[in-house]
Amino acid sequence: MQDIAKSEKRGAALGMLLCRLDKKHRTRTTDNVSLAFPQLSNSAQVEMARGMFQHFGRMVADFLRSPLRKVEDFPMDTTLEGREHLQNVLDQGQGVLLISAHLGNFERMCHYISTQGVKVSGIARDANESAITDKVNALRGKYMEILSRGNAARETIKRLKANELVVILPDQNADEAYLPFFGKLAGTVLGPAVLHLRTKAPILPCCHLRTGPGQYRHVYLEPIRAFEGEKPEELMTRVNAAIEQMIRLAPEQYLWMHDRWKYARRRGLL
């Protein structure tokens, strides 16, 4: 535990260094926090932004230590909430579209799920440098298979038919639909809703939140299923609401530096 605490402390320090040196992302972070939490004082918004940079540094440090994780350690460092929701959707035999966000420790989340006897695949965008993609995926390969976001649909459907779990993080800026997110219209992907409507695989919101050095809270919310005649935009509105619900559990652990409202701002929707 001491090694983990030291690693996280170094990571937090690097995160704060990034905060001081990277004006672009520091400004974007505080602007996004202000959009999402306008009721907070300026000092509280700044503190949340600083907390995000510290958390980001800790998570990078933890990811680099992932080869050192032992399966037997997870029961001691993870508190589980909502296991019945996962079991419920697995029992249906239609696969699971696990929806999360760039929140908490999503890498460790996937590792934890894999220790529960569930096969995990994740959809991710390739890095700009192929060498970086290879190194990152080599670390992830210990606990999940990565499907390239560019052509993942066929492989995703194949895995769902095998009753496997596919992780999607649909909280990034997009230009497919503009739906509410923290009370503001945000560019939102429709892929998870389209996959659900096609395969009937339940959508299961999940997050993995840090509660202390090397300690985590793994949370499943209630599954989301389409209503009769529901359109993808309507379903993704409910998915956005579930993501927002999870972020509110630990808002300083969300990746506010991402330009979530970029396209909405360009279209004059803010």
pLDDT at 68 over 60: yes
| Full strand arrangement of the beta sheet holding 203-212 | 78-81, 215-220, 203-212, 96-99, 165-168, 120-124, 145-148
Q: Which two tokens stand for residue 17?
A: 């260094």
Alpha-carbon distances, residue 187 vs 49, 143, 262 (angstroms): 22, 31, 8
pLDDT at position 69 is 83
**Residue 267 located in a structural domain:** no
Angle formed by the axes of helices 23-36 and 2-21, nearest 10°: 100
Nearest to 147 by CA among 113, 112, 110: 110
The helix/strand/coil state of 83 is: helix
**Residue 245 located in a structural domain:** yes
pLDDT at position 234 is 98
Are 8 and 61 a contacting pair, CB within 8 Å? yes
Nearest to 145 by CA among 168, 178, 123: 123
**Residue 270 located in a structural domain:** no
pLDDT at position 70 is 85
> Following CA atoms 165, 170, 174, 175 in sequence, which dihedral angle do they give, to the nearest 10 degrees?
70
**Residue 176 located in a structural domain:** yes
pTM of the entire predicted model: 0.93
**Residue 55 located in a structural domain:** yes
Domain count within the chain: 1
Q: Which two tokens stand for residue 49?
A: 């932004």
Ordered DSSP codes for 64-97:
HTGGG--GGGHHHHEEEE-HHHHHHHHHTTS-EE
Structural domain span for residue 133: 2-260
The helix/strand/coil state of 177 is: strand
pLDDT at 140 over 90: no
**Residue 269 located in a structural domain:** no
pLDDT at position 134 is 66
Split at pLDDT 50, 70, 90, the class of 255 is very high
Average pLDDT, the chain: 92
